[in-house]
Structure 1
Amino acid sequence: MDVVITPSLYPLHRCKTIHLVRHAQGFHNVAGEKDHDAYMSEELFDANLTSFGWQQVDNLRKHVDSSGISQKVELVIVSPLTRTMQTAVGVFGGGGGGGDYAAGGNVPLMVENGGDSNRCAVSSLNCPPFLAVELCREHLGVHPCDRRRSITEYKPVFPAIDFSEIENDGDIWWKPDIREKDEEIAARGMEFLKWLWGRKEKEIAVVTHSGFLVNTLSAFGNDCHPYVKTEICKPFKNCELRSVVIVDKGMLGSSDSSTTNFAGKIPDGADLPSDAVK
C-alpha cells in the first residue's frame, strides 16, 4: 500500500535553520583513502587541513557569502579538533573573501599560520561568535586523528573561539582501545540536537565530521518520501554544506514566543466571519 505523504506546516518560531558542514580535506583523509590502516597512525593525531582542503574552504566561503548565509548565521558551533576549527574560521570568520583574511580585530579567530596552515590570521570582526562543543565530535576512540589536543593548546591558536562549554582541559572522551559504536554516536547526536534547540539563536552553522553527521541524521526522514530520506542521510563530502530545519513538535521550547506573529484586533472588538454578520 502506498504511503500518503502530505505537506507539513509548523509555526516559524518553533523552527531553527541549521547549516551542517563537514570539515575540509585533512591529511588523515588523504592517507586513509590510500590505506585504511593509516587511521591507526599516531602521525595523524588531530590532523590539519591539506592545502587542497584550504582551497575547499575558500570555495565554500565564496558560496556562503554569495548566497547570503554568512549574513544570517547568528552562531557557529564547531567540534574542538584542529581540522574543524580551521574550516569554521576560514568559512565563517571575518575579513575579506577569496584567500587569506587579515586579522583586523583585537583577538583573531585563528592566529597567523595556525595549525601549520600557512595562512594569515583570521579576523573575529563582523562575524558571529564561535563556540566549541564536545558533543559534535567525530567517532571516538582508537584512531589518533580523532583525539583532540588540550584546550590549553588550542586557545593560543584559536583565541576568539569560546571553549567555555568544554569541561575538561584534556581529552577524556577518546579511548585508545574502545571504538564508539554507531548507536552511541547517534545517541550523542540526539543529545547535541536537544542542546542545540535550547539555544536562543534561530540560524546556526555547525562544523563537524562525517561519522557524526551520518549517524545522527540516520534517525531522520522516515516520515518523508524515500528521495527526501536519501537527501537527508547520504554521506557528506569534505567541506560540503547542507541546510536543514529542525522543528520543535513537542513543546520543548514552550516558553518561546514569535517575533513575527501579529495578534490583530486593533482596535479591540469581535472579529466575526463575514457570514456570521447579520
Structure 2
Amino acid sequence: MPTYIHLVRHAQGYHNLSKENQQIRDPDLTPHGEAQCATLRDNFPYHDKVTHLVASPMRRTLRTCLLGFSPEVEAGKKVVALPEVQELSTLPCDIGSDPEVLAKDFDSSKVDLSLVKKGWTDKSHGSPWEPTINALEARAKAARVWLRDLAAQTKDAEEVHIVVVSHGGFIHFFTEDWDGMNPSAGTGWENTEYRTYEFVDPSGQDPNASLKETHPSWRRRRGSAIPLTETEQRELMAVEKKHLEQELEEVVASQNNGGESQE
C-alpha cells in the first residue's frame, strides 16, 4: 500500500521571536503563528486523503496540527501525540509539559495523549531523550518505524497519508536529509513548511525505515534543481552533526553553569 508522510514544521511560537524567549518553557503559538496555520490549512492540497494526524506533544506542534488540519479534526480524526518527534535541545522552549498538564489543556476528543508518559520531558544524561547524536538518531529511527507500522495497520484505504508535525531541528534527523540546513537558524525549514516523503523500501524490510522526498514535493519547492547524491548527503550530514553536537553541548554546559532549572 503506498504510504506518504506529509512532514510539517510547526508555526511561529513565542520562542521564535527572540533569544530571550527561548527561556519560556513549552511556548504556544503567536497570533502570527495562528495565521500561518490558517494559510497552511488553505494551501495544503491533500486534506481529503489524510488518514492519520501525528504531532510532537509540545504545545506549538499540537496547536499547529489542530489549526492547520482542522478539516480532518472536525471530521473526527484525532491528533496522536508522539514523543519521539519532539525537539532536540535542553533549552526551556524545547522542554515539553507534563502529561497531566497537557490533558487539562487539550481536548481528549481531539488529541490522543496515550503515548505521552511521565518522564518524556527528561533530557538528562542517560535518558532516551537526551540531546546527543546517538540518542537523536535512535529516536528518529524509532519514529520512522512507528509510522511505518501505523501505515501497515491501516485498513480500508488505497493509500496512507500521514501528517507529522514536528520541529525544525529534529526534522533533519528524522528525514536524514541535511540539504539546506542553516546553522544560524538550526534548521533548513520555514515555519509551517511541508514536504512529502515516502519510504525508500516500500516492502517494509528496511530496518532503518529510511525516507526519501517524493519527486512532486521536490519539484514544487526546488524546481529543476538536482538533489544531493548519497555521498554529498553523507558529507554534509557529518559536518552538520559535528556542528550541532557542539552547539547542544554548549547549551547544556551553559545551563549547568548558570544553575537553570528545566522544570
Shorter-normalised TM range: 0.5 to 0.7
Letter in 2 for 1:189: A
In 2, distance between residues paired with 1:48 and 1:175?
24
The answer to whether residue 113 in structure 2 is matched with residue 163 in structure 1 is yes
1:256-271 equivalences under 5 Å are none
Q: Would you say the 8 A contact 1:183–1:215 is kept in 2? A: no
- Between the two proteins, the alignment pairs up a number of residues equal to 191
2:213 alignment partner in structure 1: none
Change in 2 beyond 3 A, CA 1:30/1:161: same
Which has the larger share of helix? Answer: 2
1:1-278 equivalences under 5 Å are 13=1, 15-32=2-19, 39=22, 41=23, 44-64=24-44, 67=45, 69-94=46-71, 124-141=73-90, 143-159=91-107, 160-168=110-118, 170-175=119-124, 180-199=131-150, 200-201=153-154, 202-218=160-176, 230=179, 235-249=188-202, 251-252=204-205
CA deviations on 1:198-256 (whole Å, 9 max, x unpaired) are: 012421000010111012223x5xxxxxxxx8479971111111111124356439xxx
In 1, distance between residues paired with 2:174 and 2:54?
16
Which structure has the larger Rg?
1
Pairwise CA RMSD of aligned residues? 2.8
Q: Secondary structure at the match of 1:215?
A: helix
CA deviations on 1:61-113 (whole Å, 9 max, x unpaired) are: 0012xx2x111111100100110011000011249xxxxxxxxxxxxxxxxxx
**Which stretches of structure 1, 4 residues or longer, exceed 6 Å deviation after superposition?**
231-234
Change in 2 beyond 3 A, CA 1:213/1:203: same
In 2, distance between residues paired with 1:149 and 1:213?
20
- What percentage of aligned pairs have identical amino acids? 26
In 2, distance between residues paired with 1:164 and 1:193?
19
In structure 2, the gaps of 5 or more residues are: 155-159, 207-263
Change in 2 beyond 3 A, CA 1:186/1:126: same
TM-score by length of 2: 0.65
2:242 alignment partner in structure 1: none
